[in-house]
Structure 1
């Protein structure tokens, strides 16, 4: 399949079915004064669903998204969707940005123009990028996932082929967070010859650190990471446990109920962002619903959960990464990595601690992230 132009075109039937479901919600009870501590707060969710049903304009958002340059091509039997926006500077550097869960390619919607056209945002046009934002297989419009084994390492191989064989970039930059951080690290580990550098907003859950038996050689920061992350996984990691073990069972309910899907996703945006307890501090209703709609209209919540299963059961070990790495740490994120461990396992040439922002910072506050990416790759351009 050659590279083909793609436009988002959701059928009227899908939208009409969604409207019916939003008009016939069967709400559960919620204990008084429980707010968010037992899961998604019903008061907030009812308000969001009312807005979704009565005011949210998918056709308007669809038109806005279609202003981006969308494409599809087949790589290893998977029809990959990706955005490809050309840089406006004199020598744009190609960069592939990889999203995670429970977000989608729209994670990077705001940051794309800041990277392709930095001069428009007060930057230097020589820092411009050709920006490629694929949908991870099984997510969004890279749907139709049929076979097992699609883990971070496999996706990294697809990205290497997409960038070199299909788009013709012999060398490129890569960045990502969440699942995108894992994919980017495997890309750097397995194909260092292709990469100028990698930029990460997290290093995921460092499981081999959590399972160290002899802790006598660990630093104070590493011991604190083990304590804090173990507590976080016990308090907040239920989604990870079920998606890593029984994603198919979960998929039946979330795929059938738009409210159930919204609750599952919104809980994470509330917990992992720097919203200070109020989602409206970080995201508009339209932004949240656009991301949820990507899951709903493509029928992919089940296949997106599967990557947790694959990363738990089929992911090969990852060694030290020698490609230059830039790390941007945001205080509202989860499982903040200990710097000593990161420096032993990656060739870190830039470490930035941001004053604000969370897990979805490309959506929450994209300007500082775009600036950090531009500054990190400035010395690595070829």
Structure 2
């Protein structure tokens, strides 16, 4: 960190101008729709009728101000770290023995993924839990996403972000904390685990990347490798495009709200275990999409793939590790694979339901996993 950097933390609410919402409505009204798909399923992408239904709701029934008010109830703040303005939400627990916890989102998610679980984690007493499981919850927005700075040079890395998170927690008065993440939040939390004590006391993941070269010793592991092969052959187009040409992709997504919505909506539906509009909620799916739209972060958020997808290296972790395997996630791991990579594993559980956006779609299960995992490390 630059020693001359101003360490102040200041309130920074979500306050998008009415003109931005009016522009969104006008663009939705004047959408130029494509021809319908020539199949009766999702094999060519989001069906036209589903996209038109979602956008009709977005235009005529959805209320962004409701989401804005909800976000502003989590003490939205900003501080400048390593030359970057970092925006974050902060929910302090009323419990005196609460432990600090930082939650890191991924793509195409945002801090909105954690709005359901944050109150349960911070105040278990009010949500039918044990107050001894309480956390002070910090939910930062990664650079290039949301209200955090968009980088103007190609120097994003999980290492840089993880070090910023350590500094953020220090400024908040949290010298030692727990960290949780999936998706790109996994990459950053992996680095945090490598940093370890005294800053990082333990980590929990709800994603564990597996690779084609890994050896399968049983049916479960072979099925996981087969699942990965299917993903690589038929489902990773979004990833390839964002690795290779995030700038080219972004012109359509930044100019068309329907384009931005379709790009995110397909993946949320595909990797939710069940009906995404029922489990997550149509409004919350649109909350996330609208945040990407209003912040014009289609290009900047996609560059995380261009910058780090092919270069990220796993870090050795010596602090306690917890892992929760949700069945609809892209990566399916066995306990053996996790233990081989993380010998300090203290919690492993294979759940019967849940997908890639675990905190968003199955908040109660996610909260239980986080509580169970970190209970090993509270003393």
Q: When the two structures are superposed, what TM-score results if normalisation uses the length of structure 1?
A: 0.93
Cα distance change on mapping 1:313 and 1:353 into 2, 3 Å: closer
Question: What pairs up with 1:17-166 in 2 under 5 angstroms?
Answer: 17-164=23-170, 166=171
Task: Tell me how far apart the structure 2 counterparts of residues 312 and 127 of structure 1 sit (CA, whole Å).
Answer: 34
Task: Tell me how far apart the structure 2 counterparts of residues 104 and 33 of structure 1 sit (CA, whole Å).
Answer: 32
Question: What pairs up with 1:267-282 in 2 under 5 angstroms?
Answer: 267-275=266-274, 278-282=275-279
CA contact (8 A) 1:80 1:142 kept: yes
* Cα distance per residue 1:170-192 (max 9 Å; x no partner): 11000011110111011111334
Task: Tell me how far apart the structure 1 counterparts of residues 82 and 160 of structure 2 sit (CA, whole Å).
Answer: 10
Task: Measure how far apart 1:339 and its partner are.
Answer: 2.3
**What secondary structure, in the 3-state scheme, does the structure 1 residue paired with 2:87 have?**
strand
CA contact (8 A) 2:261 2:289 kept: yes
Partner of 2:225: 226
Question: What pairs up with 1:1-382 in 2 under 5 angstroms?
Answer: 1=6, 2-164=8-170, 166-204=171-209, 206=210, 209-211=211-213, 218-220=216-218, 221-275=220-274, 278-315=275-312, 317-346=313-342, 347-382=344-379
Task: Tell me how far apart the structure 2 counterparts of residues 318 and 33 of structure 1 sit (CA, whole Å).
Answer: 41
CA contact (8 A) 1:182 1:203 kept: no
Mind listing any 5+ residue stretches in structure 1 that lack a counterpart? none
Task: Tell me how far apart the structure 2 counterparts of residues 154 and 243 of structure 1 sit (CA, whole Å).
Answer: 20
Task: Tell me how far apart the structure 2 counterparts of residues 191 and 380 of structure 1 sit (CA, whole Å).
Answer: 13
Partner of 2:3: none
Task: Tell me how far apart the structure 2 counterparts of residues 61 and 231 of structure 1 sit (CA, whole Å).
Answer: 36
Task: Measure how far apart 1:64 and its partner are.
Answer: 1.9
Task: Tell me how far apart the structure 2 counterparts of residues 250 and 292 of structure 1 sit (CA, whole Å).
Answer: 16
RMSD: 1.5
Mind listing any 5+ residue stretches in structure 2 that lack a counterpart? 1-5
CA contact (8 A) 1:117 1:128 kept: yes
CA contact (8 A) 2:101 2:137 kept: yes
- Number of residue-to-residue matches in the alignment: 371
Task: Measure how far apart 1:232 and its partner are.
Answer: 1.2
Task: Tell me how far apart the structure 2 counterparts of residues 155 and 320 of structure 1 sit (CA, whole Å).
Answer: 17
Task: Measure how far apart 1:145 and its partner are.
Answer: 1.9
**What secondary structure, in the 3-state scheme, does the structure 2 residue paired with 1:146 have?**
coil
Task: Measure how far apart 1:222 and its partner are.
Answer: 4.1
* Cα distance per residue 1:203-238 (max 9 Å; x no partner): 13x3xx3246xx5xx523444433320221211001
CA contact (8 A) 1:137 1:143 kept: yes
